[in-house]
């Protein structure tokens, strides 16, 4: 996975302490990439810090030659009792039945966040982060949620074999429709 043409000079797995140190930089990328309003970073910071304490948490970062963060991906082992798990299980059970919910959600890694600076998107960084983050994850499946609509993220997920698990789902407190996508692990070699 060569990334020299992308401006990325290296990929590193961040420890929880390194993640905390880079949190303002990571949240700035998140807000810009997702086109969220000012103030979103302050609301998300405590949640991201809590995520770093979850079982199986891991984080990959893409850095340029000056050690500037170009992109970040993290996730952890999904389990009952977590907000996202309960939301998705409820929606999937209602639409497809408890067997389908169990099939996807009994043993999965939640790809919680993956973001690349907009000026560095389309240069393989997102796919490299995704592949490196999921390399060696021992769960049966990986699941993620993404806003409905055409985007580079959608192209990445389709290219790497993600399929529809639940479409046009509305999370509590967010008016936008989301898609829940998933695939078995491990990823196919690229």
Query: What residues contact residue 2 under an 8 Å CB cut-off, 6+ apart?
Result: none
- Burial label for 185, CB within 10 Å (0-12, 13-18, 19+), is middle
**169 is a catalytic site residue:** no
How many secondary structure helices (H) and strands (E) does the chain include? 6, 7
Can the peptide bond before residue 68 be classed as cis, meaning omega within 30 degrees of 0?
no
- What distance lies between CA 56 and its chain's CA centroid? 14
The rounded distance, in Å, linking the Cα atoms of 114 and 116 is 7
Catalytic residue, chosen from 11, 30, 74, 157, is 157
| Interior angle at CA 169, CA 61 and CA 97, nearest 5 | 110
Positions annotated as catalytic residues are 157
């Amino acid at each position: 996975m060569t990334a020299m043409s992308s401006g990325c000079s290296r990929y590193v797995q961040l420890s929880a302490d390194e993640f905390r140190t880079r949190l303002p930089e990571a949240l700035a990328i998140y807000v810009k990439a997702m086109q969220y309003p000012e103030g979103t970073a302050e609301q998300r910071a405590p949640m991201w810090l809590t995520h770093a304490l979850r079982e199986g948490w891991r984080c990959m970062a893409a850095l340029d030659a000056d050690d500037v963060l170009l992109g970040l991906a993290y996730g952890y082992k999904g389990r009952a009792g977590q907000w996202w798990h309960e939301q998705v299980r409820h929606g999937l059970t209602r639409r497809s039945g408890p067997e389908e919910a169990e099939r996807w959600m009994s043993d999965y890694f939640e790809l919680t966040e993956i973001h690349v600076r907009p000026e560095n998107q389309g240069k393989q960084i997102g796919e490299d982060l995704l592949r490196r983050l999921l390399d060696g994850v021992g769960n049966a499946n990986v699941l993620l949620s993404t806003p409905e609509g055409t985007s580079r993220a959608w192209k990445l997920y389709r290219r790497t074999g993600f399929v529809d698990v639940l479409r046009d789902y509305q999370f509590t407190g967010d008016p936008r429709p989301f898609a829940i996508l998933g695939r078995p692990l491990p990823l196919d070699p690229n």
